Structure 1
Amino acid sequence: MHLIKISIGVIIIALALNFFLLPHDIASAGVGAIGHLLEIHLSVNSIYTLWVINLFMLLLTYLLLDKQIFSKIFLGSLLFPIYLKLIPTSPVLFSHIASLIIGSALFSLGVFYLYKSNSSNGGITIPPIILERYFKIPVYRGLLLTNLVIIFLNFYILRPLDGLFATVSILIMSVAMKLYTAIDSKLMEREGKSIGESNHKSS
């Protein structure tokens, strides 16, 4: 069951990247964006970059988080480069702005889905989990902080306009993550009230 949930989250992220963001050179989303940027700049296959970063983040996970979370993140880290390779990089929309908005929101949905399962697709989605665990920084803020490195790489490797698009995309991801978290909290609260009322009636 965990494998299915993790696969769904990873596939959502891979679809956001390969169908909406990367075809338009919007390199804003996590380790996949870093791989894309380094492939452009250094002609290094992005899959190799993904593996190296994910292995390093797995080491941090093993050292700083519990073993159950490590096992789930381990699966996501292994599956992500595979799905990213299997799903073709092909634009679904020709509109740059629409692709930016939809791709950013979809990427955040995949990350949120994995976080709900105490998992991750690896890469820079792991530091927010560590920041929340040790410093009580909300995940959406931690994701924004860790994405600053991507903003820097965009301005350094691509055009200033591409850097601006990446910045807007990351802001959309942060807002979307905050929105998903708020909706989830409301649903959990409503579910808790329903269970409480049901138990009260049965007693």
Structure 2
Amino acid sequence: MHHVRDISMILIGSIIIALAYNFLLIPHEILSSGLSGIAMMLGIITPFDTGVLNFLLNLPLLILGVWKLGKKFITYTILSVVTISVSLSVIPIVGFTEDPILAGIFGGVIAGLGIAIVFKASGSSGGFDIIAMLLSKRSNFPLGTIISGLNAVVVIASGFVFGWDAALNTLVSIYATGKVIDLIHTNHIKLTVTIITAKGEETKDALLSGLYRGITMTEGKGGYTGEKRDILMTVITRYQLNEVKEIVKQVDPQAFMNITQTVEVAGNFDRG
């Protein structure tokens, strides 16, 4: 049932994203964030289909993500990218407003809603999210900082291609998208997860097979029962929280989990 719910959310969120693009942003030459924005720009200035371009631009990252990122996350991301790409090709481009400022604001808000729904289902809409996650594994820069830097490239490109009024509207749209995502789903924070379980080895193996993260194990004893328990600690991104909770629940429904926001990570954030 969890998989059916998550897949439904991925499909709904991805279609909402495509609707925002084709009904509000593309008619006014306003770009979204990420690789989708680059696909939109190329789709406007060339005869190629935006949906096809979106898929082709994301394809190398999706292939790389299969090897480097969590299985569930990348599977759901592939589903989202395919759904967005098909929807962009199928849904007609119709301008719902003649005001580019309104189009940028509401296009960004609606796209942010769709992206947040995809995040809630433990996936992403692809593009710069994958790039940022892969780069953060090597650099330990915050994901939000990396994504902001990459999106600056989209805004600048929009200015040179469509003019600086369009670039400013693109900036407004990206800002609105980010605020909605943050409101619904704080997606770029890191979390520390502490798991206390009677099935430490099984839980550790299940987590290591599904996540690209290190896990530290110690032994503990219940203060009231005196029973021995394994304590697992790992640091994850917000993207991975739902996946971790489901993995732990499947292995040990009685496990205790404590999830806290992490202010800073120093040292190796990958498997160790």
- TM-score of the superposition, structure 2-length normalised? 0.60
**Could you tell me which residue of structure 1 aligns to residue 36 of structure 2?**
32
The answer to whether the 8 A contact 1:17-1:32 is kept is no
**Could you tell me which residue of structure 2 aligns to residue 196 of structure 1?**
none
Larger radius of gyration: 2
**Could you tell me which residue of structure 1 aligns to residue 84 of structure 2?**
80
Residue-by-residue CA offset, 1:7-30 (whole Å, 9 max, x unaligned)? 011011011111111111111343
Query: In the alignment, is residue 167 of structure 1 matched against residue 171 of structure 2?
Result: yes
RMSD: 2.4
The answer to whether the 8 A contact 1:17-1:29 is kept is no
**Could you tell me which residue of structure 2 aligns to residue 71 of structure 1?**
75
**Could you tell me which residue of structure 1 aligns to residue 62 of structure 2?**
58
Identity, in percent, stands at: 27
Structure having the larger proportion of residues in strand: 2
**Could you tell me which residue of structure 2 aligns to residue 95 of structure 1?**
99
| CA displacement at 1:60 relative to structure 2 | 2.7
| CA displacement at 1:169 relative to structure 2 | 1.8
Unpaired runs of 5+ in structure 2?
A: 187-272
Deviates more, 1:77-86 or 1:142-151: 142-151
Number of residue equivalences: 182
**Could you tell me which residue of structure 1 aligns to residue 207 of structure 2?**
none
Q: Equivalent residue of 1:146, what SS?
A: helix
Structure having the larger proportion of residues in helix: 1
Unpaired runs of 5+ in structure 1?
A: 183-203
Letter of the 1:70 partner, please give it. Answer: I
**Could you tell me which residue of structure 2 aligns to residue 137 of structure 1?**
142
Which of 87, 110, 120 is the matching residue for 1:106? 110
| CA displacement at 1:127 relative to structure 2 | 3.0
Which of 10, 17, 21 is the matching residue for 1:17? 21
- In the alignment, the residues of structure 1 paired with residue 165 and residue 13 of structure 2 have an alpha-carbon distance, to the nearest angstrom, of 30
- In the alignment, the residues of structure 2 paired with residue 115 and residue 60 of structure 1 have an alpha-carbon distance, to the nearest angstrom, of 20
- In the alignment, the residues of structure 1 paired with residue 131 and residue 66 of structure 2 have an alpha-carbon distance, to the nearest angstrom, of 12
Query: In the alignment, is residue 49 of structure 1 matched against residue 56 of structure 2?
Result: no
Higher relative contact order (CA 8 A, sep 6+): 1
